[in-house]
Amino acid sequence: MSARTMFRASLQIGELQIPVRLYAAVEDRKIHFRLLHADDHVPVVQKMVDAETGDEVRRDRIQRGLEVEPGQFVAFEDEELDALAPETSRTMSVEAFVATEQVDFAWFDRPYYLGPDGTESNYFAFAQALAKTNKLAIVRWTMRKTRYVGAVRAGPGYLLLVTLRHVGEITIPRGLKADAAEVDPKQLALARQLVSTLADDFDPSLFKDDDRERVRKLVEAKRAGAVIPIAQGRKPSETKDLSDALRRSLRDLKEKRHA
Amino acid sequence: MPEEMEEATPRGIWSGILSFGLVSIPVDLHSITHPRRHRMRMLGPEGERLQRRYYCPEHERVLQSDEIVRGYEEDDGSFIVVDDDEIAALEPKRSREVDLQRFVPADQLSPLYVKRSYLLLPGKDSQRAYRLLARIMEETERVGIGSFVMRGHTYVVAITSARGILRAQTLRQADEVRSPEDVGLPDPPDQIDRQRVRAFVEAIDSLSIEAFDPAITEDEDETTLLAAAREKQEEGDVVEVPEESDDEGSSVVDLMALLKERLLGPPSSAASSSTLHDQTRQELYERAQELGIAGRAKMTKEELIDAIAKSA
């Protein structure tokens, strides 16, 4: 099954161009409910009311505004906003390339796949060049009257595009120089052993969404007219003796393995 | 600096225990993503502040939050009705623990799976264990995978470490992420044109920058809109809007200062904010849950404060 193309563009890298198609990489699996009036189970509609009086304000009387000073707004008509909106452009321009590890995860917003549109040779050559240099491309494009900034990365043999959050929308702590002497070497050795015992590959199929499953069961139970029980977890407490906890952890894990 | 300010309490949005093996590290989870600074707001014809309300088209009136139920829509358009208490009964118990059950290579963590990034700060007296975990993950280039419960939802997280600071990345479920095959991407050919690859490598080199500059992510739509707004403002084309009854009570926390204090300085003593206004909506929601307040899921922060104050 191939997915729906969301957008077609041309990736512009200096003089070089790669026609691409954009596909959503994530899908919504949430179970959605609608809000209903309890009395008659009629779906509710949203209305805007005056915060002070509670009186309804009709759609055509509502204005949209941007706060410029506290308590001071500048209102915009729909036509004014339309005039300000950027034109859709088929060019996805590369602003710069930067080492992959330079872009913190906090910037990443939503992932998409980029697939080749027509000719494939440039697409695969670019994916390989990105992987080889271990870099990502910072790109800008305009889609559905909105300007986006994104990062193009190489997956193994394909291109991934992740939209980026904007400057001012995140705070990344710069980090403090951790002093090596502050960590007890014995504890470090124990911790190293513990991590290697718990070492594994990244396998998302191991993550289970119990929440979703529970909601699905509730809906099914309500169809039939029943209710389901819920499980509980254990309560951990703070570690007092770090070395002792590390040692006991290793022993526990070994016992589990030999059991 | 505005970039370093955060509307939150020093305790963050979740407090709990990070555990690996039998080592337990009390931590606070802090949000590092904020909503955009300039958002369009809906206003009344005279600049009145507006609120969203639910309305029954059949009864032609605005509904109170306790008059609303949730319905799962069946194929035939009928609804299976579930009420708040049934949903609440399903919610996983608040878990105070993130148990790191496996440590995976950091480079296997793909942005396909990363949903949102949070900062983890050591709780009181847990600096040593916190530093040890940060240090060992950096050294082994591995990230810890675990799960925890927040806001009535279970989250799978990848705990990463950079420069001695721990972060938590919430992850998507496997079935929320499409594979290249699902999307129908073609397989790479056996032979890739070396000359073309070389041409791209050259282009990459010539357009490369040393460090990622956050300014490169500037929101041009916002800049354009703001410039237009300033222009109209200078012409006096403004709408005066009555100030919101200013009891939001959100305290501003300087994350960097908090970070330094937690990692290096004396443990903070001002961590417990006692008034309802100082708490986040989520904290209030959880309090309302404990008190069994009906209709809490649809209440605003102010409504929650009201309801809690009344029932206490």
In tens, the pLDDT along A191-215 reads 999 999 999 999 998 887 778 888 8
Which DSSP string corresponds to A114-135?
Answer: EEE-S--HHHHHHHHHHHHHTE
Q: What is the pLDDT of residues B47-92, one digit of tens each?
A: 888 999 999 999 988 898 889 999 999 888 888 888 777 877 777 7
Which DSSP string corresponds to B218-259?
Answer: --HHHHHHHHHHHHHHHTT--EE-PPP-S---PPEEEHHHHH
Identify the burial level of A224 via C-beta atoms within 10 angstroms of its C-beta, where 0-12 means exposed, 13-18 middle and 19 or more buried.
exposed
Q: Which CATH architecture has domain B1-33+90-178+250-270?
A: Beta Barrel (2.40)
Contact B89 A24 (CB under 8 A): no
In our burial notation (b when 16+ CB lie closer than 10 A, e otherwise), range B210-221 reads eebebeebbbbb
> Is residue A9 over pLDDT 90?
yes
Identify the burial level of B41 via C-beta atoms within 10 angstroms of its C-beta, where 0-12 means exposed, 13-18 middle and 19 or more buried.
middle
> Is residue B251 over pLDDT 60?
no
Q: Which residues contact A139 (CB under 8 A, 6 or more apart)?
A: A11, A92, A93, A94, A95, A149, A150, A151, A152, A161
Q: Which residues contact B148 (CB under 8 A, 6 or more apart)?
A: B14, B16, B95, B97, B98, B154, B155, B157
CA separation (Å) from B156 to B94, B160, B170, B258? 14, 13, 6, 26
Q: Write out residues 149-208 of A within 8 Å (CB-CB) of B.
A: 149, 151, 153, 155, 157-158, 160, 162, 164-178, 182-184, 187-188, 191-192, 194-196, 198-205, 207-208
A78: amino acid identity, one letter: D
Q: Which CATH architecture has domain A7-28+85-164?
A: Beta Barrel (2.40)
Higher-confidence residue of B147 and B287: namely B147
pLDDT of B299: 81
Residue A14 Cα, gap to closest chain B Cα (Å): 7
Sign, CA dihedral B230-A77-A51-A34, equals negative
Q: Does A236 touch chain B (CB under 8 A)?
A: yes
Residue A224 Cα, gap to closest chain B Cα (Å): 10
How does DSSP classify residue A26?
B
Contact A194 B20 (CB under 8 A): yes
Contact B102 A34 (CB under 8 A): no
> Is residue A178 over pLDDT 80?
no
Contact B92 A210 (CB under 8 A): yes
Find the CB nearest B208 among A57, A104, A135.
A135
Distance CA A129, CA B231 (A): 45
Contact B104 A200 (CB under 8 A): yes
In our burial notation (b when 16+ CB lie closer than 10 A, e otherwise), range A186-205 reads ebbebbebbbebbeeebebe
Name the segment(s) of chain A with CATH classification 2.40.290.10: 7-28+85-164
- Residue B285 backbone phi and psi in degrees, to 5: -60, -45
Distance CA B68, CA A28 (A): 25
Contact A68 B218 (CB under 8 A): no
CB atoms within 10 A of CB B73: 14
Q: Does B37 touch chain A (CB under 8 A)?
A: yes
Confidence band, pLDDT 50/70/90 cuts, at residue A69? confident
Q: Write out residues 58-117 of A within 8 Å (CB-CB) of B.
A: 61-76, 80, 84, 86, 94-98, 102-108, 111, 113, 115-116
> Is residue A66 over pLDDT 70?
yes
Distance CA B49, CA A51 (A): 6
Distance CA A85, CA A88 (A): 9
CA separation (Å) from B96 to A172, B24, B29, B154, B258? 25, 11, 11, 12, 22
* Range in A120-124, A214-218, B98-102, B307-311 the model is least confident about: B307-311
Averaged confidence pLDDT in chain A: 87
Question: In chain A, which residues have their Cβ closer than 8 Å to the Cβ of B104?
Answer: 199-203
Cβ distance A144 to B226 under 8 Å?
no
Q: What is the pLDDT of residues B238-249, one digit of tens each?
A: 888 877 654 444
pLDDT of B291: 67
Residue B260 tokens read as 């330094």
Higher-confidence residue of B29 and B152: namely B29
Q: Domain limits of chain B?
A: 1-33+90-178+250-270, 274-312
Residue B295: closest C-alpha in chain A: A38
pLDDT of B90: 76
Q: Does B247 touch chain A (CB under 8 A)?
A: no
Residue B124 tokens read as 């009181």
pLDDT of A219: 87
Instruction: Kindly report the pTM of this predicted structure.
Output: 0.80
Q: Which residues contact B155 (CB under 8 A, 6 or more apart)?
A: B147, B148, B149, B170, B171
pLDDT of B254: 73
pLDDT of B275: 57
B96: left (phi over 0), alpha (psi -120 to 50) or beta: alpha
Mean pLDDT of B109-137: 91
Contact A44 B68 (CB under 8 A): yes
Q: Write out residues 281-300 of B within 8 Å (CB-CB) of A.
A: 298
Q: Which residues contact B277 (CB under 8 A, 6 or more apart)?
A: B247, B248, B249, B305
Beta pairing partners, B160: B167
pLDDT of A94: 97
Residue B218 Cα, gap to closest chain A Cα (Å): 6
pLDDT of B280: 73
Helix (H) or strand (E) holding B167: strand B165-171
Contact A167 B87 (CB under 8 A): no
Cβ distance B106 to A195 under 8 Å?
no
3-class DSSP state for residue B148?
A: strand
Higher-confidence residue of B272 and B48: namely B48
Distance CA B30, CA B253 (A): 10
Question: In chain B, which residues have their Cβ closer than 8 Å to the Cβ of A108?
Answer: 111, 114, 117
Q: What is the pLDDT of residues B170-215, one digit of tens each?
A: 999 999 999 999 999 999 999 999 999 999 999 999 999 999 999 9
Find the CB nearest A205 among B89, B169, B174.
B174
Q: What is the pLDDT of residues B23-41, one digit of tens each?
A: 899 999 999 988 776 778 8
> Is residue B138 over pLDDT 90?
yes
% residues pLDDT > 70 (chain A)? 91
Confidence band, pLDDT 50/70/90 cuts, at residue A233? very low
pLDDT of A109: 94
